[in-house]
Structure formats: C-alpha cells, structure tokens
Copies of this chain bind each other. A is one copy, B any other.
C-alpha cells in the first residue's frame, strides 16, 4: 500500500466532529476556529524500542497512549481539549492493518475526550514513531493553571490513585498481558474534565503525574520557588497495588512515587479553596497529601514518616 492511499485510509478513520475544524486533512494545513482567547499546545513523541516495545504494546495501545499523554498535558493546564495533529513514522514492514489499528484507537480516545484529529503526516521510519501535537483552548491566560503558582501555606492534592501504571509496567515486563494494573499502564485516561474543573476551582499550580510524584512535585517546587512536603501514606494507592508489589518484590509506596505514567493530576491550592477543589473533579476523588512551605525542592515522606530518596524515572 502506497503512502498516499494509506493517508487516504487514515483520513477516513477520522471524524471532523464539532464544527470547530473548518478544514481538516487534505489541504496544506488545517484551519480551526480560534474560539477561545488563548491556544494551549503540547507535543509528545514516542519511539519504538525507547518508549515501548511492540511485543508488549499493541499498535492500538501505542496510539492510545501517545494521544493520552499529550492530552494529559492539556488537562494539567485546565484547557479544553481541541485538536490533535499526528505524525506517524512507519517502518516499511508495519503494514496497513496495524497502522489503522493505531489510528482507530487514537480516534476512539479523541472521540471520548472531545478532541478532533485534524491533521498529520505519514513518513517512513526505521522504527515506529508516533508524535502527537495537541491544541486546547482556554478563556484567558489567567483561567489556566501553571507549574509556578504554588505558595507557602498551600495544600498539596492529587486526583485518583497512584502506582497502578508503574506496577502494570513491571507486570507487563514479566509476561502478564491483562488485568487492571496492566490496563492502567497501557490505556491511561487523561484527566481533562478534572483538570478544567480544578483550574476553575482555584488551584494555584498543577502538573500531570507522568514521571512519578517524586519528579513532578519537584517540578512544581522548582518552578514556583517553594518547598513541597508530600506524605505518600496519605495518597490512595491503586487497587491491587499492595498484592502486586509483593509479588514483584517492590515497595508499593516507591512504585507510587517513582514509576509515573499514572496521569493523575498533582496540584496545590490555598486552604480557602479546599472545599471548591474537593467538589471539582467528580467522579474522581481528591486526596490531600502535603503542604507547600518556604524553601526549595521536594521532601517526600514514605512509610512511618521516613524520608524517601527516590526520584521518578525520567519518562519524556
């Protein structure tokens, strides 16, 4: 199948729902109604052999996760999802069926989140490469949440449950192919509605947990010029994490802190926003796991209040 007919097949897999995309694939560029006052754009790329292996990740897993990771950045800003632009670098032996499987999984996640895949490029590549640019929209610069707004006295909160993706990754490497932890790793859900609700509720800083709290909390601390104190025992762990960690011979709290790719939202907010924040991200729960202090860096407390010296793996 030639590159042009593959592009045509991929275009057919996409839907320009919503009326915001005035011109989609097929011209030199996509044209989108800029109905928000500010455009919020993030780029993420994954490469076979570096970020995933095709013997543990199906093409659909790869497509889903690449788009989910990019959309997660929009959630962490509190932006409304908008458009995605996808570059596929396909090895010559990859084949049409797998390329379509990858794109269909992206399209399903796009539909579920209100995103439109409005353009892209297909090129040859020695390994599978998926690069996703997502643009979301916000009402104003001030309506969004950044990494640099944490202030001493703020509380530290997190959505959902931690550690599931990290355990799932290790189980996958040991040959498991199913179960909720493996699924959590392969098919993360970007927290778009929660992010928008938290930004509207007045959080002072926000980031998505892509590299593990040990790294991501440090990003907020560094960008905000403050110290974050996080007590991991206050964070809810993914169901089944304790049992899986035992089988894996790992400390569940360390998995929750360092393994990353949970794509939950870590945020700070002033105490008087606490009630609004707790109501915001339904049906997700919010847990309060620490506080912001004068100082710098991250202090991470594990079991029994002992300091943990883990750093998150540097996913990129």
Contact = CB atoms under 8 A, between A and B. Distances in A.
Interface of A: 2-4, 22-23, 26-34, 36-47, 49-51, 73-74, 76-77, 79, 83, 85-87, 89, 118-127, 129, 131, 133-138, 141, 144, 146-148, 206-208, 223, 314, 316
A44 B30 CA distance: 13
> Which secondary structure dominates chain A's binding surface?
strand
A206 B3 CA distance: 23
Contacts of A131: 43, 45, 87, 121, 129, 131
Given A36-B34, A125-B50, A28 B85 contact: no
B135 A43 contact: no
A146 B73 contact: no
B29 A79 contact: yes
Nearest to A118: B41
Nearest to A147: B27
A40 B32 CA distance: 6
Copies in the complex: 2
A146 B27 CA distance: 7
A49 B138 CA distance: 40
The 10 closest A-B pairs by CB, nearest first: A29-B42, A34-B34, A28-B73, A133-B133, A28-B76, A45-B87, A50-B124, A131-B131, A43-B85, A32-B39
Contacts of A138: 31
A90 to B, nearest CB: 10
Contacts of A34: 34, 36-39, 137
B136 A29 contact: yes
A38 to B, nearest CB: 5
A119 B41 contact: yes
A13 to B, nearest CB: 17
22 contacts: A3-B316, A27-B77, A27-B223, A28-B208, A29-B42, A29-B79, A31-B38, A31-B141, A31-B144, A32-B41, A33-B37, A33-B38, A33-B141, A41-B118, A43-B119, A43-B121, A43-B133, A49-B126, A50-B125, A87-B87, A126-B126, A126-B127
A30 B30 CA distance: 19
A119 B33 contact: no
A119 to B, nearest CB: 6
Contact of A39 (B39, B73, B141): B39
Contacts of A124: 47, 50, 316
A176 to B, nearest CB: 26
A129 B121 CA distance: 13
Most buried by B among A42, A125, A144: A125
A111 to B, nearest CB: 20
A43 B126 contact: no
A208 B27 CA distance: 10
Most buried by B among A33, A40, A86: A40
A209 to B, nearest CB: 11
A11 to B, nearest CB: 13
Given A26-B223, A34-B34, A85-B133, 5 more contacts: A31-B38, A33-B141, A43-B85, A49-B126, A87-B131
